[in-house]
Homo-oligomer: A and B are copies of this chain.
Amino acid sequence: MEALKSRILSSGRVLEERILKVDSFLNHQIDVKLFNEIGKEFRRRFDKKRVTKILTIEASGIGIACITAQYFDVPVVFAKKHEGSNMDKETYEADVFSYTKNKSYKIRVSKNYITSEDKVLIIDDFLAKGSAASGLIDIVTQANAEVVGVGIVIEKGFQEGRKIIEEKNIQLESLAIIKSMEEGKIIFEN
């Protein structure tokens, strides 16, 4: 998606240890107009999939998922990372390892909000080693629902996330795929 790639080049910044900082438009400040374009592009790429629900993970997936859901006319569910006092007792749970924070955490979704009838599109801001996406796929599988696709805004193509998802025979669509970020220079795949 050209508008996204241009924006990453103009506003993104590569920090040490292969971190891409895009908080001016993606995960702290949010460019809602760009999100509209992202949402339309996900609709185009998953148009045939009869999506019934979009699943994401707090916090930075929520905005993208909500804007995108308008183009599919479906509700969003976001997996929770933090225990709240009013979470349902009956939840699907999965472990996710955060490489940025170097620790694992549990994500939870109430059993009420994904059912075996659902065709779930998973949406997230980043794909790197695939741990969050795998956790979300795990939750959908526990619910006996179907994952019809994974839609990612920015994929770090030099990490193994894509391999993990494609091995499960799930359609993965990333709107920008970064081939390398060496010496602070962002190079996209094709």
Contacts and interface: CB of A to CB of B under 8 A. Distances in A.
Interface residues of A, number: 41
A36 B74 CA distance: 13
B30 A75 contact: yes
A67 interface: yes
A75 B63 CA distance: 11
Interface stretch (A21-29, A40-48, A129-137, A180-188): A21-29
Given A30-B78, A58-B58, A24 B112 contact: yes
Interface in A20-74: 21, 23-25, 28-33, 35-36, 58-59, 62-63, 65-67, 69-70, 73-74
A171 B48 CA distance: 45
Interface stretch (A79-87, A145-153, A156-164): A79-87
- Which of A19, A63, A65, A100 has the most chain B CB atoms inside 10 A of its CB? A63
Can you tell how many copies of this chain the complex includes? 2
- Which of A23, A24, A28 has the most chain B CB atoms inside 10 A of its CB? A28
A110 interface: yes
Interface string A100-118: 1100000001101100000
Nearest to A22: B86
Contacts of A32: 66, 69-70, 74-76
B76 A30 contact: yes
B112 A77 contact: no
A1 interface: no
A15 interface: yes
Contact of A100 (B70, B73, B84): B84
7 contacts: A19-B86, A21-B86, A28-B80, A28-B87, A63-B66, A63-B78, A67-B70
